[in-house]
Structure 1
Amino acid sequence: MNWKKKVMKVAPLAVCGIVGSLLFTSGASAHGYIDNGRSSLCKQGLNTGCGPIQYEPQSVEGPGNFPLLGPSDGQIAGAGSFPHLDVQTATRWHKVNMTGGTNTFSWTFTAAHRTKEWKYYITKKGWDPNKPLTRSDLEFISRVDGGDKQPPLKVAHPINLPTDRTGYHIVLGVWEIADTGMAFYQVVDVNLGNNTLVGNTQTPSLLTNILSPNSTHFTW
């Protein structure tokens, strides 16, 4: 009889523990990364000395509601949890070639989750690539609505990058989760170029070297 009473006292605590564990697991189940982001290139070996993120590029998770909240300045790339990713110099990281205009940013989700939105930022003209990344270095460029739905395991976003800057820039993608207050942070190190016409653009005023009076072929 006494044994049964003890079981009755312990059981509610056990149930609470199980429920709490399930809730925690549900809240922490989302994971994802940008395919050519800094953490992904750590896994691929193009970035080295990355610390544990090389084994789990999908885990760069921190507080959401960026930029009002989120990781502290200087810890944005690592979301406050992976300091190896926060090291910032002009030559530290492998760069992805992109041009101004539309570029595709592809996400891989190892565990998708209800999504509020994706937001994209890029470093401003004149930012210092040899200093830790801060909010003041970034400007907003695009938002993709998540619709409070769970995305497929692969998502591609066409994002327009500015055409008024070239060279090394960082694109920051933030995946805001709908129901946990958390977000995933992905920086992409970009060697940004622009498709500009090089050379003499003056319009010729005279036709020259016409082959014959009756010819329909001519050259400028």
Structure 2
Amino acid sequence: MRTVTRTVGRIAAAGLAPLAVAAYAAAPAAAHGSMTDPVSRVAACYAEGPESPRSAACKAAVAAGGAQAFYDWNAVNIANAAGNHRALIPNGQLCSAGNDKYRGLDLARADWPASALTSGPHTFRYKGTAPHKGTFELYVTKDGYDPTKPLKWSDLEPEPFAKVTDPGMRGGDYVFSGTVPKKSGRHLIYSIWQRSDSPEAFYTCSDVVFGKDTGSGKPGSKPSSTANAGGATASAKPSNGPVAKPPTDEQISEGASKSTVEHGGHGDNDPNTNGSTADSPLASPSSATAATATGGGLAQTGGDGSAPMIAIAGAATLAVGSAVLFAVARRRATTGHRGR
């Protein structure tokens, strides 16, 4: 018996670590979503087509960071944010959340595709490719915002104008309401989605226009020139600028095969996060939480390291089991040989 035990130990020590590492590496990265009303920069450029975008701003963004960032449109995140957004994201990198992969989203331009927005009540939509429990906070830029300058934290109003926890889902979108402050001209809506089941958080920049597009957050101001990715200066025409459109379900489905992040789940066989587009009614935070507990479209799992750890545990079990079988078979063979 001691021989079996020693053999198990040696085989497990030699074989378990590589299997565990392989299992961890095989765990797919997860994708989670982006704002679609008003449309985020990354979603708008993905909708135009990462290989051949139509608008000058999206062309410049692809030139700056490559097309892959836009196939991965739903993964602008920080894995260990834990609410420390301002400490982790430098000024000038809010739209990329400090991720170099998405640096094209930080280009300071007045001609990003934009959505028309009015002050007052508005229904917001956030495409959730992998649902989670958490809180959404929406900020708008201050009066006088200049889109031709790098976006700083101080450019945002100090408090979110909309905040909601565990909103319900419809058609694969989180849907929630908020009251938009009175603004004029071109502005930006900044969203933070902080998960409550993980320290992970997601970020979006949505360009919006209140009334006439003046090129800035100042009524009646003249459009500014903008620098493209190559450093050349181009004349922005925000009054006739492109309208931001969200990607269609067909575009999302077609582009998933070119994405480097998982669409619709986490590889953990959790029906609540793997490809689930089940709708849940609009609800208050309390009823939304109740819906979550009964599988109403929100999930408490995924992206927090649990899936890789489960994979490692599975690999460990397989390794130990194989070692035991091998040792027992060898012991029996040795015993039989001696008997002869």
Shorter-chain TM-score category? 0.7 to 0.9
Deviation per CA, 1:134-187: give whole Å up to 9, x if none.
11000121211138xx96732112121112x21000001111122332211111
Alignment of 1:192-207 (within 5 A): 192-193=210-211
Alignment of 1:55-204 (within 5 A): 55-62=71-78, 64=81, 65-81=83-99, 82-91=102-111, 93-113=112-132, 115-139=133-157, 140-146=160-166, 153-163=172-182, 165-193=183-211
Q: Percent of aligned pairs with the same residue?
A: 26
Distance in 2 separating the partners of 1:87 and 1:117: 27
The code of the aligned residue for 1:55 comes to Y
| C-alpha contact 1:116 1:177 (8 A) present in aligned 2 | yes
Query: In the TM superposition, what is the alpha-carbon distance from 1:18 to its structure 2 partner?
Result: 6.0
| C-alpha contact 2:123 2:175 (8 A) present in aligned 1 | yes
| C-alpha contact 1:100 1:193 (8 A) present in aligned 2 | no
Query: In the TM superposition, what is the alpha-carbon distance from 1:97 to its structure 2 partner?
Result: 0.5
What corresponds to 2:13 in structure 1?
9
Deviation per CA, 1:60-97: give whole Å up to 9, x if none.
11253154434211111011121000001222x01100
The code of the aligned residue for 1:188 comes to S
Q: TM-score, normalised by structure 1?
A: 0.73
What corresponds to 1:43 in structure 2?
46
> Given the superposition, is the C-alpha separation of residues 166 and 157 from structure 1 closer, same or farther in structure 2, using an over 3 Å criterion?
same
Q: Which runs of 5+ in 1 are unaligned?
A: 195-220
SS at match of 1:133: coil
| C-alpha contact 2:138 2:192 (8 A) present in aligned 1 | yes
> Between Structure 1 and Structure 2, how many residues are aligned?
186
From the two aligned structures, give the one with the greater strand fraction.
Answer: 1
Distance in 2 separating the partners of 1:182 and 1:8: 34
Distance in 1 separating the partners of 2:186 and 2:131: 31
Distance in 2 separating the partners of 1:127 and 1:66: 24
The code of the aligned residue for 1:77 comes to C
SS at match of 1:29: coil
Q: TM-score, normalised by structure 2?
A: 0.49
Distance in 1 separating the partners of 2:84 and 2:123: 22
CA RMSD of aligned residues (A): 2.8
From the two aligned structures, give the one with the greater helix fraction.
Answer: 2
| C-alpha contact 1:67 1:135 (8 A) present in aligned 2 | no
SS at match of 2:12: helix
The code of the aligned residue for 1:44 comes to A
Distance in 1 separating the partners of 2:23 and 2:73: 29
Deviation per CA, 1:43-70: give whole Å up to 9, x if none.
1116522333321210111253154434
| C-alpha contact 1:42 1:53 (8 A) present in aligned 2 | no
Q: Which runs of 5+ in 2 are unaligned?
A: 49-53, 63-67, 213-340
SS at match of 1:43: helix
